[in-house]
Amino acid sequence: MSAKKKGLYAGKIKKATQMLLYKRHQKPGVKGWELHKSIGADYPKVLEVLDDYLEPLDLQVKTVFEEEKTPEKPTLEELDRARFFVALRFGSVTKDKLMGWRIDDLAGLAITISYIISKKGQAPRQEVEKLLSEKMPNWKVGLNLDRYIRNGYLMQDERGLLYLDWRTRAEVNQKALVDLLLSAEKPKEDIEPQPKANETEVTKEENEQP
C-alpha cells in the first residue's frame, strides 16, 4: 500500500473511530449509510482495518443487522442498513461489564430473551410479566422490563408486544442461551421405589414357608 493510500486510510480510520465512539443518538454507534456518506463506499474495509487496531485493546467493531438473522455475505446495501459500534470482544468478561446488574436481574433477562425466542420473536408483555413474577418479586418485574428496554435488549410496540432489540442480537449468543436453559431443565429419571427393609424380610419369610 502506497504512503498516499496509507494516509487516506489513516484519515478514514480516524473519522470512523470518531463516528463510532461519539454518541449522537439514543443508541450507541452509527448506521452504515452514515459511514457510507461520510467515508465512502469502501467503509467496510476501513472498519476491518480499524477492528485490527482495536484487537490489542480487547475491543472490536460490532455489526448489528436489522434482520434477526445475520447475512453470511452481506451486501453493501444490507451493511448500509446495519448499525456499527465498538464493543468488548466476546470472552472478555470483566466486572465493569456487569456493574450495577444483580444476578437475579441477569437471570430475568435470560428468561425473557429465551421466552421471546420460543414465541418466534415476539411476546405480549403481560405474558412475560406473569412468567417473571414466578421468579422474582412482583414489584421488580415492571422495573426490570423497563430497564431491559431502556438498555436496548428489548423493544416494545404500541400493542404491548415485546421483541428482541439490537443489543440482544449483538451481545447474546441466542442458540447457546437456549441450549443452556434446556439442559438445566432435563426431566429427572424415573426411579423405582425400593421396598423397605421390613417388607423385604416379610416377603422372604413367606417364600420360605412350605
- Regarding whether 164 and 107 lie in a shared domain, the answer is yes
> Exposed/middle/buried for 12, CB within 10 Å: 0-12, 13-18, 19+?
buried
Domain annotation covers residue 158: yes
In terms of domains, do 80 and 110 share one? no
Residues 68 and 116 in one domain: no
CATH number at residue 145: 1.10.10.10
> Distance between CA 91 and CA 145 in Å, rounded?
26
Task: Give the pLDDT confidence of 128-176 residue by residue, as tens digits.
Answer: 999 999 888 899 999 999 999 988 889 999 999 999 888 887 777 767 7
Please check whether residue 121 is in contact with residue 174, taking contact to mean a CB–CB distance below 8 angstroms. Answer: no
* Residue 169 domain boundaries: 97-183
The pLDDT of residue 90 is: 59
* Residue type, position 89, single letter: R
pLDDT for 204: 47
Considering the domain boundaries, does residue 208 fall inside one?
no
Which pLDDT value is given to residue 46?
A: 92
- Residue 116: pLDDT above 50? yes
- pLDDT (tens digit, 9 = 90+) per residue, 174-196? 677 667 666 655 554 443 455 55
In a shared domain, residues 86 and 7: yes
pLDDT classification of 33: cutoffs 50, 70, 90: very high
Whole-prediction pTM: 0.55
Number of domains within the chain: 2
Per-residue pLDDT band at 10 (split at 50, 70, 90): confident
Please report the pLDDT score of residue 200 as a whole number.
46
Is residue 193 in some structural domain?
no
The C-alpha cell at 177 is 442461551
Q: Report yes or no on 204 lying in a domain.
A: no
